[in-house]
Chain A
């Protein structure tokens, strides 16, 4: 049950970071950072790592 909740939290954070990536207009550095932050979240959501 707790594990499922954490997967939901992961998906939510992934959505937020992804949304920020889409909305970001000016700072290319931030774009890269958003993508890097998303790597472990996506791998966990896909149950790879």
Chain B
């Protein structure tokens, strides 16, 4: 009897040790805030709960950086981290926030659109909790999140997600996927309240252009492209052709399917006057037949298994020993976004969006992403906000 008690106590001790060993890193990751420097163009910082009040005090609430131009013009919304395991979108938005100066029009930038997802992880896939982007002065650390919101913030999942308002049956996990819950509703599940907040921002502030920046697997056909619905396809095509001709990289146009509901590139256009665009840059890290999911692989996009598959023509993008590094992915997101603004301004002369100070593809490929990220420790007092 005494021996049995000792064995049980030892096992219970090992159990608690396991919990204490595994739990705190996840807890710290969830509560780790990322500093963002308000660049020279930032004129205000809002919250998504200003547009969707029932987000207040929840992990769904997130910051909106406003860059108002000196002259009036069109308005654009840029979103990163809709899927928080596709960080090239978030990094592109940070480059805008920390560098852009708007001459005409207004930019609204949301770097952590699915804030809850950015505090989630996918241990079953061996995801790292953080990644560091090398800079000229050291490195900037970011949370590496998951595609879906944390179940700690929205739980339980239904057996089937019934999309609102169309009633289309989607996978259960999509109830936590902020690229399936558009256009959202004010009192729905948390992620529907997030997308509702963005829809309200778009409708109330009369946004003209909405750019949702993603990454996609090299083995997924909808990659390295601009997804655009009918109303945006002309500008998307002009942007695609221009970056190919002027900057030398491919970024083809994919039509937004009308029958697949809940996606930003579909619902924003159907429920507002804005032109939606969804950018997909190839991110090899998301592919399944790869080596270990290391932070190095996340940054350089180099993998021998993908290289082998590329030689067998199984990938949808060109892939060689150079991989598909972060610089290319962020650079093309920046160039395509700027080109969309440029083409929109040419087409709609009364509502121009003119932005300067943002590097383009060749600059980022040459200098690295870190060149355009400041040092929060040396930033002017009062210019650093935590998200």
Contacts and interface: CB of A to CB of B under 8 A. Distances in A.
Interface of A: 2-3, 6, 21-22, 25, 28, 31-32, 35, 38-39, 42-44, 46-49
Contacts, number: 42
B15 A35 contact: yes
B23 A35 contact: no
19 contacts: A2-B156, A3-B155, A6-B156, A21-B12, A22-B8, A25-B4, A31-B8, A32-B11, A35-B11, A35-B12, A38-B15, A39-B19, A43-B26, A44-B151, A46-B23, A48-B23, A49-B22, A49-B23, A49-B26
A38 B27 CA distance: 18
Nearest to B153: A3
Nearest to B151: A44
Interface residues of B, number: 20
B31 to A, nearest CB: 11
Given A35-B15, A43-B23, A48-B23, 9 more contacts: A2-B156, A3-B156, A22-B8, A25-B4, A31-B7, A35-B12, A39-B18, A44-B152, A48-B24
Contacts of B30: 48
A48 B26 contact: yes
Contacts of A42: 19
Given A31-B8, A32-B11, A39-B15, A47 B152 contact: yes
Q: SS class of chain A's interface: helix, strand, loop or mixed?
A: helix
Given A35-B15, A43-B19, A48-B27, A21 B8 contact: yes
Contacts of A38: 15
Q: Which 7 A-B pairs have the closest CB atoms?
A: A35-B15, A48-B23, A48-B27, A6-B156, A49-B26, A3-B155, A47-B152
Contacts of A6: 155-156
A26 B18 CA distance: 23
B60 to A, nearest CB: 13
Contacts of B23: 43, 46, 48-49
A7 to B, nearest CB: 9
Nearest to B23: A48
A48 B18 CA distance: 13
A34 to B, nearest CB: 9
A39 B151 CA distance: 16
Contacts of A48: 23-24, 26-27, 30
Contacts of A3: 154-156
Contacts of A43: 19, 22-23, 26
Interface in B1-53: 4, 7-8, 11-12, 14-15, 18-19, 22-24, 26-27, 30
Contacts of A49: 22-23, 26, 152
A38 B15 CA distance: 9
A39 B14 CA distance: 11
Contacts of B18: 39
A1 B14 CA distance: 34
Nearest to A47: B152
Contacts of A21: 8, 12
Interface string B58-99: 000000000000000000000000000000000000000000
Nearest to B156: A6
B219 to A, nearest CB: 29
Given A35-B15, A49-B26, A28 B156 contact: no
A21 B11 CA distance: 10
